[in-house]
């Protein structure tokens, strides 16, 4: 579309006015282009939004993990049925103790002492030794040594 011409009587004035150059003012061209470059390099909102959302999700998940009580899951496991012929009959009586009798003299010394204690208790231990003037001094170690050797106490 062509522009309409100015009236002929105004064309001269129009030409005169076109010759006047507008004053630029205080615009610093280099500073303006520098700021324009910075303005054009500014990122959009997508990355800050994504970072904010992921941060919020992390905070929410951390709170849930911290505040929620531990969840215990009970799993019912079917016990496999044992073969009928091999299972002994269940009774309330305790099974009889099966123990082969062993002669005390055949046992090693420490088991002999153990058997003695189990059978007679602490009361079965020999009497304490007499006072020091009547008998030589002895300690528990020598006394037990006598027991282990099979010697009877006086």
Partner 1 sequence: MDPVQLARLVDQQAAALVLYARQWCAAPEDVVQEAFLKLAAQRRPPDRVVAWIYRVVRNAALSAARGERRRRRHESEAAARAPSWFVSTEGAGLDGRAATDALAALPGDLREPVVAHLWGGLTFAEVGELMGLSASTAHRRYLEGLAALRERLRVPCPNQTPRRN
Residues that bind partner 1 (CB under 8 A): 1, 3-4, 6-14, 16-27, 29, 32-33, 35-37, 39-40, 42, 44
**Residue 131 in contact with residue 137, Cβ under 8 Å?**
no
In the complex, least distance from residue 4 CB atom to partner 1, rounded to whole angstroms: 5
Compute the least distance from the CB of residue 19 to partner 1, in Å.
Answer: 4
What are the Cα distances from residue 152, in Å, to 15, 116, 124, 138, 143? Answer: 147, 13, 12, 15, 10
- Minimum Å gap between C-beta 50 and partner 1 is 18
Cβ distance to partner 1 smaller for residue 33 or 53: 33
Determine the Cα–Cα distance for residues 119 and 113; give it in Å rounded to an integer: 10
Of 3 and 78, the one with the shorter C-beta distance to partner 1 is 3
Listed in sequence order, the residues at least 6 apart from 146 whose beta carbon sits closer than 8 Å to its beta carbon are 153
| 13 versus 117: smaller Cβ distance to partner 1 | 13
DSSP 150: T
Min CB(48)–partner 1 separation in Å: 16
C-alpha–C-alpha distance, residues 111 and 82, integer Å: 39
Using the minimum distance from each CB to partner 1, give the nearer residue, 49 or 62.
49
């Amino acid at each position: 579309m062509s522009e309409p011409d100015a009236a002929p009587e105004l064309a001269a004035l129009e030409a005169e006015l076109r010759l006047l150059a507008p004053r630029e003012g205080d615009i610093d061209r280099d500073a303006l282009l520098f700021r324009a470059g910075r303005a054009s390099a500014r990122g959009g909102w997508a990355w800050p939004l994504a970072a904010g959302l992921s941060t919020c999700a992390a905070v929410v998940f951390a709170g849930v993990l911290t505040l929620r009580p531990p969840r215990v899951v009970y799993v019912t496991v079917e016990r496999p049925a044992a073969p009928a012929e091999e299972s002994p009959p269940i009774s309330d009586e305790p099974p009889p103790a099966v123990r082969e009798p062993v002669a005390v003299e055949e046992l090693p010394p420490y088991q002999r002492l153990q058997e003695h204690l189990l059978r007679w208790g602490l009361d079965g231990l020999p009497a304490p030794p007499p006072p020091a003037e009547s008998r030589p001094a002895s300690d528990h170690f020598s006394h037990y040594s006598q027991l282990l050797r099979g010697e009877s106490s006086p």
